[in-house]
Amino acid sequence: MVEQRDSRIVAVVTGGANGIGAAVAQRLAQDGASVAILDLDAEAAKETASVIAKRTGATLYGVGADVSESSAVDRAIDQVAEEIGPPTILVNNAGITRDNLLFKMTVEDWDSVMSVHLRGTFLVTRAVQRHMVEARWGRIITMSSVAALGNRGQANYSAAKAGLQAFTKTTAIELGGYGVTANAIAPGFIATEMTAKTAERMGISFDEFKRSAAKAIPVGRVGQPEDVAALASFLASEESGFVSGQVIYLAGGPRA
């Protein structure tokens, strides 16, 4: 959908080396955007960029950056602007988990999750929005989660994902006058490396884990990274211009 505005449009996807981020990066490239993949693992970012470029024929750029470090973020966004153009689409996808029950959770577990999700999203959004304001057009898409509604063993992650929803709504208010929209996607169970690791920690096979999860989902299946990418594609498009400040739960049905 991106191509209907400008073939020179540039998107930034954080945490884009694998999983949901890689799927979103590929979809935006297919839509006609040039895409910069930011990831803590610089080599993985470059490799994924190379793979997607070969698949789509689009311009991809991989760069390493710790989203929780202000100078690293500013440097990375400056590189993107210089190498492939000023970014006007941002997908805040970078995230980590440090799951534990509250009484077992360490300060480090709490701080590291907050640092990547909340501080990281703030820093990258602040760095990219100046290009959007200058262009008087932009799309900010931030990955929240159904965990924002509360989830056992994820006090840190749930709090961070809920905070991102408030950040999204405030950003939509502040930047709306510049033609910039801000929305959040809150995925439910998505089959990724992260959920596979959860199954491993639980001592069950990933297939069994997915089958069990699907039983509680009204549409009868777990989500795929491509499901998230499809929604991100719409929210990044010109057509989504009257959708802003929203949190869209992508979970195969409502969650009580």
**Residues designated catalytic:** 157
One-character DSSP codes across 108-142:
HHHHHHHIIIIIHHHHHHHHHHHHHHHHT-EEEEE
Longest dimension (CA), the chain: 51
- Residue 36: beta bridge partners? 12, 61
Please choose, from the candidates 23, 16, 1, the residue with its C-alpha nearest in 3D space to the C-alpha of residue 191.
23
Q: Which residue spans within the chain are E strands per DSSP?
A: 10-14, 34-39, 60-64, 89-92, 138-143, 180-187, 247-250
